[in-house]
Structure 1
Amino acid sequence: MIATKSDTILSLLTLVGLDTEASYPALESLGDARYLRDLKINLGNVLNNNQNLSKKESLLLALSIAVNEKQQPLVDSLTTLAKAEGATDAEIAEILACTSLLSTNNVFYRFRHFVEKDYYNQTQPGIRMSIMMNPVLGKEFFELVSLAVSAVNGCELCVKSHEDSVLKHGASEARVFEAIRLAAVVKGFITLI
């Protein structure tokens, strides 16, 4: 007997453009639990109802988290949704590159922070980061994506640095807050797909 997906699950999958016919065992094991209704509302709010992020920016931020978490079906669906909101191939490529760079930096700088030895802290990292110099999406948004990925990856040093930088590039704390809330909700959703 094939179990049918609840309306809440179908609505959740449709919200992010995922295949409603595919199997999502963890998600489906929750049936129509209250948590899924909350998740649907939370995900809808962070993707569609941000006062400080455009729909395109919300989708690009969500895409960066999906890339970071290696969730290819979600990467594909969010790419399609972001393009429908006007994201260019160059902007999508920059999200992929930024996420990769931040994953690299988060490991390196977390190590420095954890160990706290002079040699490691004073030695040049030797990690090229030319993508940060003139980003297609602009410095402020590039820093916002960097902050969101760093928060998901738990790099305290990177979070503090990117939060400071994004504010210096003109973002408000409300915009930062919404970006981090979005990253948190998307990460939570990914744990179930």
Structure 2
Amino acid sequence: MSLDALRDLIPSYAKDISLNLSSLANETILTDQQKWGCYLASAHAIGVPQVVKLIEAQAATVLSPEAMNAAKSAAAIMGMTNIYYRSLHLVKNQEYTTLPAKLRMNVLANPGVDKLDFELWATAVSAINGCGACLDAHESELRKHGMSNVQVQAALRIGAVVHAASRVVASAIAAAE
């Protein structure tokens, strides 16, 4: 199992991260597509090669090719929109918020999977990228369509743990070089 291979890359000082990777993978709060889409979108959002490869291999055993593509699309589009909308929040000149974004975001309208799943993946990535405006927007959509706080929290937890695992693996590899 690729998740086990990922856990093997995590040093003993980060045992909690390894345990969380495993326990989140075994939770049933989300559907398998929702859960593994969160894992995959989060891994691609961070981009540590070893983590991306191992999570992608594990996700491929559960997700359709369309869902794999949509999860990667969530990471890609949020990589752009999170930076843009977070910048609008940070800039003191509020005039920028009145201007049209003029950024292509077509995948948001037709992600290739259930819109709710895509929104969940976008939420996990927005947490990783630290965009409060995007977190609020996606969480609002999820709640509007019946997703519970516990389900939204599960996506946030997956994003947090994949982020931590990615940083730990990257630093362990750097230290070994």
One-letter identity of the residue aligned with 2:154: E
CA contact (8 A) 1:68 1:99 kept: yes
TM-score, normalised by the number of residues in structure 2:
0.86
Q: Which residue of 2 aligns with 1:187?
A: 163
Residue 46 of structure 1 aligns to a residue whose secondary structure is helix
Q: Matched residues in 1 for 2:81 and 2:57: separation?
A: 28
Q: Contact 1:16 / 1:78 at 8 angstroms: preserved in 2?
A: no
**Aligned residue for 2:60?**
83
The answer to whether the Cα contact below 8 Å between 1:140 and 1:170 also exists between their aligned partners in 2 is: no
Whichever of the two has the greater Rg, that structure is 1
1:151 to 108, 127, 130: 127
| Alpha-carbon shift at residue 64 of structure 1 (Å) | 0.9
Partner of 1:3: none
Relative distance call for 1:93 and 1:16 in structure 2 (3 A) is farther
Counterpart residue type for residue 159 of structure 2: A
Question: Could you tell me which residue of structure 2 aligns to residue 67 of structure 1?
Answer: 44
Aligned residue among 30, 40, 44 for 1:53: 30
Q: Deviations over 1:173-192 (max 9, x none)?
A: 11001111111111111111
In structure 1, which of residues 152, 164, 177 is the aligned counterpart of residue 153 of structure 2? 177
Distance 1:14 1:142, change over 3 A: closer
Distance in 2 separating the partners of 1:80 and 1:94 = 16
TM, length-normalised to structure 1 = 0.79
Corresponding residue number in structure 1 for 2:173: none
Aligned pairs, number = 169
- Structure 2 CA distance, aligned partners of 1:16 and 1:67? 19
**Distance apart, 1:118 and its partner CA:** 3.2
Q: Match of 2:3? A: 15
SS of the residue 2:168 aligns to? coil
CA distance, structure 1, for counterparts of residue 7 and residue 26 of structure 2: 20
Q: Which residue of 1 aligns with 2:19?
A: 41
Q: CA deviation at 1:117?
A: 2.1
Question: 1 or 2 for the larger relative contact order (CA 8 Å, sep ≥6)?
Answer: 2
Q: Is there any run of 5+ residues in structure 1 with no aligned partner, and where?
A: 1-12
Q: Answer 1 or 2: which has greater helix percent.
A: 2
Cα shift readout 1:74-102 (whole Å, capped 9, x = no counterpart): 222222211212x1222111111111110
Q: Say whether the 8 Å CA contact 2:29–2:151 is kept in structure 1.
A: yes
Q: Percent identity?
A: 27
Q: Are 2:42 and 2:163, in contact at CA under 8 Å, matched by a contact in 1?
A: yes
Q: Name 1:120's counterpart in structure 2.
A: 96
